[in-house]
Each structure stands twice: as C-alpha cells, then as structure tokens.
Amino acid sequence: MRQAGRYLPEYGEFKAKHNVGFFEMVKTPSMACEITLQPLRRFNLDAAIIFSDILVIPQVLGMGIDIVEGKGIIFDFLLEKPEDLDKLYKDANVCMDLKYVMDAITLTRHTLNGQCPLFGFAGAPWTLMKFMIDGGSHSPLPKARKWLKVYPEASKTLLNLLCEKTVDYLVGQVKAGAQILQVFDSCAGELGPDAFQEYSLPYLKDIAYRTKEKLMECQVEPVPMVVFAKDAHFALDDLANSGYDVVSLDWTIKPTHARRVVGKHVSLQGNLDPCLLYAPENELKTEVKSMLKKFGTQRYIANLGHGVHKDVNPDNVRMFVDAVHMYSEEINAIS
Ligand code: CP3
C-alpha cells in the first residue's frame, strides 16, 4: 500500500526544497529512489514499493496528467466517446517511454543492497479506464460504467490495450530489478459481480499469465504477483484462482472468511483498516494482534487494507509496524 507520500514530513520537505511537482519526482530516478527509501529509514519495514504512480500508463498513451496540490489529479483531456480512442498512442513502447521507472527501480534495488525486497506495481486495466474516462475527482455521473453499457466493444478495445501495455510494463520492471509485483484494481468494487467478471477479471488474469509467460520466454525467473481488487468481496474465490500468488484484502473483509474462501494455495495480504492509525495505541495494538491471530504468520503479508491517509501521524505507522513484528514473533514462538 502507499507507504511513501504526504503523511511523511520529509516527503513534503523534499518536495519544497527541490520545488518540484509530483510527476517530476516520479520521472527523476534519483528522486524516486530517495522517496522510496524515506519510509524505510523511519520504520522497520520488510519491503519497499517503488515511488511512482499507476497513471504513468495513461500518460504514455498520450494523456497529459498532473497532480496539483489542493486540486488533485488534472487530465488535459478525458475519453468521452469511442472515437477518442484514436487520440491514444497505441504503439507507445512503454519500456522505452517509462525508462525512468526502470532506472528508478534499478537504482533503488542497488541502493537497498539486499535490505528488503522491492515491489514494482501497475494499475489494473479497469481502474485505469475509470480514471481515463471519469478523471481524478468524483464524477457526478458514472461515465466509465456507462461506457461499459453504451460502448461495450470500445470498452474492451481500451481494456485490451491497457492490458497489453501493462504486461510489457511489468515485465520491464522485473528486468529492471523488481522482486515482486502488485496490480492495483482500486476501483474494482464499483463494478459489482457481473461487470467485474466481464470487464476486470479476464484482464487481471491475462496480466498474471502473460507477465509470467513473457518473463520465462526471456529466461527471467517470474516473481510473485499480488492482486488488490478493492471492495471486490464477491470475487474472492475467482481472485484466488486468477494466477496471482497473493490476494490483497481491504479492511471490509473478515480474515477468517477470506482464508476459508481462498484456500491454502495463495497467500493473503492486508487488511488493517487504515483508520486504525488514528486510534489510541492500545486499540491499534489489540487490533493488530487480533488480525495476526486470525491470519496466522504463514502465507500472509501483514499490511493495511489501503494506503496511509495524508494526515496520519507517522508515529502511529511505527506503532503498527512494530506491533506486527512483536506479535508475529510471539505467535511464532508458541506455534
Ligand atoms: O509508497 C508509495 O507511495 C508507492 C507509490 C504509489 C503512489 N501511488 C504514490 C502517490 C503507489 C503504489 C500509488 C498507486 C496509486 N495511484 C493507486 C492505487 C492504490 C490506491 O491508493 O488505491 C491509485 C488509485 C493512484 C492514483 C492516484 N495518485 C491518486 C488517487 C492520488 C491522490 C490524488 C490526490 O489529490 O489526493 C495519487 C497521488 C499520489 N500517488 C501521491 C503519492 C505519494 C500523493 C502525491 C502528492 O500530492 O504529493
């Protein structure tokens, strides 16, 4: 989940000192590396996630996107009708155009020097489609979901394009040094069970299978892959059989239910409510302990159920991370 970012004072200081915007930092490998490492300097984390954004894929397809303080995500145009797909650069070479991400990954992997594994990531096709049609802020009309009903064929053309580019992008990230990959379908829940089956799941599956296949074709060992389909409870069993090694859970799913549904062949990640980082220390610790007891310490990655909110006190993130280590050691000692 988002571990770098606005809740860390050093992130704000770095941004102000260099007087740079979000995407300028993402596009400068030395800066992206530095920000990736910021949370690791503060907390005893077991993994790093490269500082970047899922929106770099729509950018290389030709959509100008900026993130402006106080205004959020700004697109220079949105997709309104199928003909707008012609505006996209279908032949974009993502590994070349996103060489800065690859360079940031390689630099960070070297700098980490084995301290912990480095996650690469990408957005899922449906979540990217949703942003490309609805934009960054809440659209008053469900325009992206309307596309699925009014332009089903064009929707699939777009999802296929995003899928193809994402596979190349993830393969490139592994070649550059990413040791585990996470695919974020942050907008999965709003699809509902039927639309998820048709417009998200097939593309998620394709990404897992084709990424692994392409890596093997180039003699690169595939890495574990994680799928995070936020609010898609209805699809837990499908997600467990979708070619991913880990299913990441938001905080609205009961750990015991998730384990029962997915079985033992996949690992789980999650799922502490990010708002518990606002709770008093005792409550946070009790909830962490209870979460670990329910998931167990094997085939499980302790994490939040979504990103850290921007007004969270970093000391509470430390309490979370330390509590995970403390209680999992306790559980391991008695089992
Ligand atoms: O630890 C990390 O920070 C890893 C890097 C990371 C970012 N975004 C950095 C970021 C990751 C993994 C993401 C993924 C991402 N980006 C997702 C999927 C995960 C999720 O949260 O659901 C999504 C949906 C996005 C798109 C996006 N980018 C949003 C919705 C926002 C917030 C915009 C706003 O105005 O609040 C961003 C911006 C963003 N991405 C920030 C960071 C650190 C904040 C940028 C800033 O203002 O400095």
Average pLDDT over residues 310-331: 97
Buried b (16+ CB within 10 A) or exposed e, 37-54: bbbbebbebebbbbbbbb
User: What band does 139 get if pLDDT is binned at 50, 70 and 90?
Assistant: confident
Beta strands, E only, the chain:
48-49, 65-68, 72-75, 118-123, 180-185, 225-229, 246-248, 267-272, 300-304
Residue 4, ligand 1, Cβ within 6 A: yes
Q: 15-29 pLDDT, tens per residue?
A: 999 999 999 999 999
Whole-angstrom distance, CA of residue 303 vs CA of residue 2:
10
The pLDDT value recorded for residue 258 is 97
Q: Is the CB of 53 under 6 A from ligand 1?
A: yes
pLDDT value at position 126?
98
Residue 46 DSSP code: S
- Atom 35 in ligand 1: which residue has the minimum CA distance? 72
Please state the rounded mean pLDDT for residues 124-152.
94
Distance (angstroms) between ligand 1 centre and the Cα of 330 equals 34
- Cβ–ligand 1 distance for 119 under 6 Å, the answer no
Cβ contacts of residue 249 below 8 Å, gap of 6+? 255, 258, 268, 269, 270, 271, 305
Which of 1, 2, 139, 183 for mutating ligand 1's site (highest number of atoms within 8 Å of CB)? 2
Contact present, 192 and 201 (Cβ < 8 Å) = no
- pLDDT tens string 254-308: 999 999 999 999 999 999 999 999 999 999 999 999 999 999 999 999 999 999 9
Local structure of 269: helix, strand or coil: strand
Residue 212 confidence (pLDDT): 98
The tokens of 73 are what?
């995500």
What is the atom index within ligand 1 of the atom nearest the CA of 230? 22
* 76 CA from centroid of ligand 1 (Å): 19
**This prediction's pTM:** 0.97
For residue 2, the CA-to-ligand 1 centroid distance in Å is 7
| Mean pLDDT in residue range 220-231 | 98
**How close is the Cα of 324 to the center of ligand 1, in Å?**
24
Distance CA 291, CA 34 (A): 32
Reply yes or no on whether the pLDDT at 38 is more than 80: yes
> Looking at beta carbons, which pairs linking 326-330 to residues 24 or more positions away fall under 8 Å?
327/288, 327/289, 327/292, 328/292, 328/297, 328/302
So what's the pLDDT on residue 2? 73
In sequence order, the β-bridge partners of residue 49 are 119
